[in-house]
């Protein structure tokens, strides 16, 4: 998916919502536990329910790895289900990988070729040769951690002069282009988006932290949106666990629709 | 495995070698490709051949993820094989994970509980709440990236005042203790080990970069060893791909033995 395609899909869907598939087998509705594969049944229902209101899905690998080998299969099957049924939606493997060059190449192969994800999140600590193997895969997106939504962002990212996250954004944005690179910027740091936009006015930003983590969608849009949309705002727990009964998918759809409607209003301000 | 147990195992084995199981299905001996599971046959042979000469094994998750779902099973089976047959050897899942608190907790569960690894490598970019869930699992080791062996280490880790890697080592070493925390310090940066030892004199260091990446074992030992050993030096490609014929395991054993003998001499200097 190109930059232009993503931008027009956002305008078509009137949404820049990314649904985080952080499926915790202990948190899904009880009645699903009698299914042969509760995780996959849950994911498919959530995907079907929320696809009309979002432009991207983001399974976080941690939740699948915690299920053992079966979890890795579930991750594959979930991505295959999305790519088969909703080929226009962006699939982000939220993996936060990064290693020395030849090893990062193996990760790029795993997520882009084997698993057919459109995008993968990457940690920048190990520098250029750890990021470039992802960037070198054509028609795929590398989403590099910039300023994350958690408390620990203060420990290293927000220290230095200029702050480490600014160094990372400035440097990494030169390794690729807005056509293959995005940055993770936490919604809980929305006031910093304005300055970030002076460094990278055009890049797409993946913004977690709206919903359960408390970030504000209005603030994120006010400071982070650009004329192409420029944002993918993720919500995970607040959508996928909105309901806990047999009608859980309806609750997820309703929660996603509420966010989409707010996003539609915000996108209207672009015109 | 406690600090004291690891230290005495090093003295017993007269080795601080860690064998990196970076098994690339395209690089293993050709004749194995007719096996039902070439990766596992290869790993078991390498483990049996090198166990007498090392104290730790380190599968890197990237290589297993690149094999798809079967790879994740191979990773499990490899770790199970080591824990069953060589229970005194430390098993390090080289995963370089790190995410917001609750998500890092899922990774800790995946590697420590599901997979039964003794240690996992963790990326520090996301700060304290991304590292502490690993540290909170009893009798396990968290190995945090400090100064890595690759070129890209110069991009962020070696910048700042003090340099980022020193900030990371100083800060992270206070979140846990020498009993549950190690740091990755690349052998290609051996001259910096002296200064690192002034910050963390007692912590174990996991040192990649000897062998194929060109680091010197003597220099690493001269600057990084402490009275408890204090080092785990990893070699991957130079050992596991030492031979390419049917006698590949013999070549791996011989290469591991050469390193062990050098290490024995270096350990002798401690007395």
Residue range A219-260, pLDDT digits in tens: 999 999 999 999 999 999 999 999 999 999 999 999 999 999
Longest dimension (CA), chain A: 54
Chain B CB within 8 Å of residue A214 CB: no
Catalytic residues of B: 96
Per-residue pLDDT band for A213 (boundaries 50, 70, 90) equals confident
List chain B residues with pLDDT less than 50: none
- pLDDT tens profile A128-178: 999 999 999 999 999 999 999 999 999 999 999 999 999 999 999 999 999
- pLDDT tens profile A45-79: 999 999 999 999 999 999 999 999 999 999 999 99
- pLDDT tens profile B34-54: 999 999 999 999 999 999 999
Nearest to A125 among B99, B123, B213 (CB): B123
User: What SS3 string covers chain B?
Assistant: CCHHHHHHHHHHHCCCEEEEECCCCCCCCHHHHHCCCHHHHHHHHHHHHHHHHCCEEEEEHHHHHCCCHHHHHHHHHHHHHHHHHCCCCEEEEEEEECCCHHHHHHHHHHHHHHCCCCEEEECCCCCHHHHHHHHCCCCCEEEEEEECCCHHHHCCCCCCCCCHHHHHHHHHCCCCCCCCEEEEECHHHHHHHHHHHHHCCCCEEEECCECCCCECHHHHHHHHCECCECEEEEECHHHHCCCCCCCHHHHHHHHHHHHHHHHHHHHHCCC
Chain A CB within 8 Å of residue B131 CB: yes
Nearest to B100 among A68, A150, A164 (CB): A150
- Check if the beta carbon of residue A270 is closer than 8 Å to that of residue A225: yes
Cα–Cα distance for residue pair A68/A77, rounded to 1 Å: 15
Q: Looking at chain B, how many residues does it have? A: 271
pTM of the model: 0.97
Between chains, do A62 and B145 touch, taking CB under 8 Å as contact?
no
Between chains, do B148 and A123 touch, taking CB under 8 Å as contact?
no
Q: Where are the domains of chain A?
A: 3-268
Chain A CB within 8 Å of residue B151 CB: yes
Q: Please report where in the chains the tokens 């890795």 appear, as a residue.
A: A72
Q: Which chain A residues have a beta carbon less than 8 Å from that of B101?
A: 150-152
Measure in Å the smallest separation between the Cα of B72 and chain A Cα atoms: 6
Cα–Cα distance for residue pair B3/A165, rounded to 1 Å: 35
Measure in Å the smallest separation between the Cα of B84 and chain A Cα atoms: 19
- Check if the beta carbon of residue A180 is closer than 8 Å to that of residue A204: no
Between chains, do B125 and A129 touch, taking CB under 8 Å as contact?
no
Cα–Cα distance for residue pair A227/B196, rounded to 1 Å: 48
Where would I find the beta strands (DSSP E) of chain A?
A: 17-21, 56-59, 90-97, 119-122, 141-147, 181-185, 204-207, 231-235
Measure in Å the smallest separation between the Cα of A158 and chain B Cα atoms: 10
Closest CA to B122 of B139, B140, A66: B140
Q: What is the crossing angle of helices A38-50 and A69-85, to 10°?
A: 30
Chain B CB within 8 Å of residue A215 CB: no
Q: Is the ipTM of this complex over 0.95?
A: yes
What mean pLDDT, rounded, does chain B reach?
Answer: 96
Q: Please report where in the chains the tokens 């304005």 appear, as a residue.
A: A194
Provide, rounded to the nearest whole percent, the portion of chain A with pLDDT above 90.
94
Chain A CB within 8 Å of residue B99 CB: yes
Between chains, do A159 and B153 touch, taking CB under 8 Å as contact?
no
Q: How many residue pairs from chains A and B have C-beta atoms closer than 8 A? A: 181
- Check if the beta carbon of residue B109 is closer than 8 Å to that of residue B135: no
Q: Which chain A residues have a beta carbon less than 8 Å from that of B66?
A: 106-107, 109-110, 114
What mean pLDDT, rounded, does chain A reach?
Answer: 96
Q: Looking at chain A, how many residues does it have? A: 271
In the annotation, is A189 catalytic?
Answer: no
CATH architecture of B3-268: Alpha-Beta Barrel (3.20)
Chain B CB within 8 Å of residue A162 CB: no
* Residue A4: Cβ-neighbour burial (10 angstroms; 0-12, 13-18, 19+): exposed
Q: Which chain A residues have a beta carbon less than 8 Å from that of B22?
A: 103
């Amino acid at each position: 998916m190109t930059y232009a395609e993503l931008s027009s899909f956002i305008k078509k869907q009137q949404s820049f919502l990314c649904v985080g598939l952080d499926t915790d087998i202990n948190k899904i509705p009880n009645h699903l536990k009698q299914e042969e594969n509760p995780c996959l049944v849950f994911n498919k229902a959530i995907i079907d329910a929320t696809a009309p209101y979002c432009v991207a899905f983001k399974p976080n690998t941690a939740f699948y790895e915690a299920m053992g080998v079966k979890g890795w299969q579930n991750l594959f099957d979930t991505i295959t289900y999305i790519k088969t049924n909703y080929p226009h939606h962006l699939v982000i493997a939220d993996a936060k990988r990064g290693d020395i060059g030849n090893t990062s190449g193996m990760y790029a192969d795993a997520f882009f070729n084997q698993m057919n994800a459109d995008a993968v999140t990457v940690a920048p600590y190990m520098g250029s040769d750890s990021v470039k193997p992802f960037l070198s895969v054509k028609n795929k997106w590398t989403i590099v951690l910039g300023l994350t939504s958690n408390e620990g962002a203060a420990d290293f990212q927000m220290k230095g002069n200029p702050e480490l996250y600014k160094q990372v954004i400035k440097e990494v944005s030169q390794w690729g282009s807005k056509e293959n690179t995005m940055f993770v910027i936490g919604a809980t740091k929305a006031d910093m988006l304005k300055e970030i936009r002076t460094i990278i006015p055009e890049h797409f930003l993946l913004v977690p932290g709206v919903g359960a983590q408390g970030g504000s969608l209005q603030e994120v849009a006010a400071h982070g949106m650009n004329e192409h949309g420029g944002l993918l705002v993720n919500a995970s727990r607040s959508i996928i666990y909105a309901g806990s009964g047999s009608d859980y998918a309806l609750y997820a759809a309703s929660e996603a629709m509420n966010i989409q409607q707010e996003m539609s209003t915000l996108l209207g301000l672009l015109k």
